[in-house]
Structure 1
Amino acid sequence: MSMSYKSRRRWSLVILLVGLPVYIGVVWFILSLIPRPPILLELALYVFFGLAWALPFKNVFKGVGKADPDADPN
């Protein structure tokens, strides 16, 4: 069952305003527990974690920036 356009817009807003800051805090805390790795490894970790949060939510964000396909054109 796919979500409606309205629900995808609402969930994307919740994910960006609540979920993303929580995710950033958790990753920041976890990475602060380990000793500082070499700079290239640290960069790779931040790039990985920076992209990994969006993969599970790909379908939620798909088409959110476009016009509502269910809206009446008049």
Structure 2
Amino acid sequence: MLPYKTRKRLSILALVIGLPLYIVVAVSVVNWAEARWGMLPWWGALVIYVGLGFLWALPLKPIFLGVGQPDPDAPRE
């Protein structure tokens, strides 16, 4: 398991750099698919975007786990 400070830094990096890049790639892929096969119905686009919205968090779940909690390695007062 990664140390708390490393997980915190990685989570900030993932949110500030990784998530915007993922959004650009996801929208580009959906636009490419719509250009190739035609427009999706509104509910189809909604399903795809909601699915992609959850998909980015799955591999990063171990990094985000417990980051909002106080540092467990910090000295107790």
Relative to the length of structure 2, the TM-score reads: 0.91
Cα distance in 2 between the residues matched to 1:50 and 1:7? 24
CA distance in 2, matches of 1:34, 1:10: 35
Q: CA deviation at 1:25?
A: 0.3
Residue 56 of structure 1 deviates from its aligned partner by: 0.2
Give the fraction of aligned pairs with identical amino acids, expressed as a percent: 41
Q: State the secondary structure of the residue aligned to 1:10.
A: helix
| Cα distance in structure 2, aligned partners of 1:40 and 1:73 | 51
Match of 1:64 in 2: 67
Q: Deviations over 1:16-72 (max 9, x none)?
A: 000000000001111111222011111000000001000000000000000000100
TM-align CA RMSD = 0.6
2:45 alignment partner in structure 1: 42
Partner of 1:24: 23
Instruction: Extract unaligned runs of 5+ from structure 1.
Output: none
Q: Matched residue pairs, number? A: 73
1:1-28 Cα deviation digits (max 9, x unpaired): x100000000000000000000000011
Runs of 5+ consecutive residues of structure 2 not aligned to the other structure: none
Moved over 3 A (4+): none
